[in-house]
Amino acid sequence: MDFPYSVTQDVPLYLAPMAGVSESPFRQICRRYGADVVVSEFISSVGISLGIERVLAEMRFEPCERPIGIQIYGADAGIMAKAAAMVTELFEPDFVDINFGCPVKKVVKNNGGSGCLKDMTLVRGIIRAVREATRLPVTVKIRSGWDESQRDPVEIGLRCQEAGAQALTLHPRTRTQMYQGAANWDEIARLAQALTIPVIGNGDIRTPEDVVAMRNHTGCAGIMIARGSFGNPWLFAQARDLLDGGGRTKRPDPTPEERFATALDHARLALRLQGDTRKTALEFRKHFGWYTKGLPGASELRQRLFAIESMGEAEEIFSEYLFGSARSVAA
Ligand SMILES: Cc1cc2nc3c(=O)[nH]c(=O)nc-3n(C[C@H](O)[C@H](O)[C@H](O)COP(=O)(O)O)c2cc1C
């Protein structure tokens, strides 16, 4: 299957766009552990078009993250086009992804995200306008529809393709479902059959074996992982082992030491890229929770990590665990 941007794997594995999670530090960690493509968190087209510095800062990435897509959302074709042109000019990612899947109230109330799915004329208008505004490939991410009565991912996908989408990711739930029920992989299979552009399957991948199962079940061109990657970037490399090895062997799970070391690396990246502020530390706590989940004897560690107010404190705590003493890791 021909992707509109350069990928080296037959079935590329994607780190999903996730607000508050798929930021530059986590994207870098996931690329290091086997994600083939990463996508930014969704960024407001209004914020971009107004040149708001905080919003522009959210789009920064480093060369090691490529191939990377920047995801934008909004319900005004003109503003989406302006945002796409600015993204291209200022950041030049490998592709621009349009979010037609976000279920969050604040976004859909202005018809953004999955709100657009109620109006396919709007969806087509946005895709066309964005295609015209950028020389980069344009991809889209959708849900299966707004609600059960309008559930028709194949029809939505065909309309997106016709309007110029060059690859499409389906998270096969409706907006009304939010995250309830199982993702309907049959819909990914039907869409992959119906479209000529690459279809990336997404939804409920928790284990490396799930990746192989989705590929076999749907014949999708690529696979996108969101929640399964929390504290577990190793999932990508393990899944790659299974995909390439015909479902036979995969590398072992990381040891507790590897987990701690990776959490520390991740924290250092956050420190470097986001600064040693209280905000960075508070937002990082969730990652610590995920990395240490299920580890024997980690409850005291978690308690200490959840109390941190600066990333420097986190470094000290991890150093103690890893090296037995609070040696400075900044050096
Ligand atoms: C914390 C969180 C934030 C998310 N933010 C975005 C986003 O910014 N853009 C988007 O298209 N989807 C977003 N999603 C949806 C995921 O990309 C994905 O479609 C969904 O979680 C299903 O995949 P999973 O079962 O692998 O988690 C988000 C999901 C989570 C859990």
Query: Tokens in use for 125?
Result: 């208008």
Do 154 and 206 belong together in one domain?
yes
Give the residue numbers spanning the domain of 201.
Answer: 13-244
The answer for 91, left when phi > 0, alpha when psi is -120 to 50, beta otherwise, is: alpha
Rg of the chain over Cα atoms, rounded to whole angstroms, equals 20
102 as an active site residue: the answer is yes
Tally of CA atoms within 13 A in the half-sphere of 313 that contains its CB: 18
Residue where a domain terminates, one of 244, 274, 299:
244
Ligand 1 contact, 228 CB (< 6 A): yes
Do 204 and 71 belong together in one domain?
yes
Summarize the confidence of residues 320-325 as an average pLDDT.
69
Q: Among 30, 64, 102, 116, which one carries the catalytic annotation?
A: 102
Do 225 and 277 belong together in one domain?
no
Is 4 within a domain?
Answer: no
Is 251 within a domain?
Answer: no
Residue where a domain terminates, one of 214, 244, 274:
244
Residue where a domain terminates, one of 194, 212, 244:
244
Is 6 within a domain?
Answer: no
Give the CATH number of the domain where residue 36 resides: 3.20.20.70
Of the residues 13, 14, 15, 18, which should be mutated to test ligand 1's pocket, given the most ligand atoms within 8 Å of the CB? 18
Summarize the confidence of residues 5-12 as an average pLDDT.
96
Closest C-alpha to ligand 1, atom 26: 226
Is 79 within a domain?
Answer: yes
- Interval 128-154: pLDDT, tens: 999 999 999 999 999 999 999 999 999
Query: Tokens in use for 54?
Result: 């905080």
Query: For the chain, what is the domain count?
Result: 2
Give percent of the chain with pLDDT exceeding 90: 76
Q: What is the pTM of this model?
A: 0.95
- Interval 278-315: pLDDT, tens: 888 899 999 999 998 888 777 888 888 888 888 888 87
Do 275 and 235 belong together in one domain?
no
Residue 295, SS3?
Answer: coil
Do 282 and 156 belong together in one domain?
no
The Cα–Cα gap between 251 and 249 comes to: 7
Ligand 1 contact, 225 CB (< 6 A): yes
Is 18 within a domain?
Answer: yes
Residue-level pLDDT at 204: 98
Residue that wins the pLDDT comparison between 264 and 162: 162
Sequence length of the chain is: 331
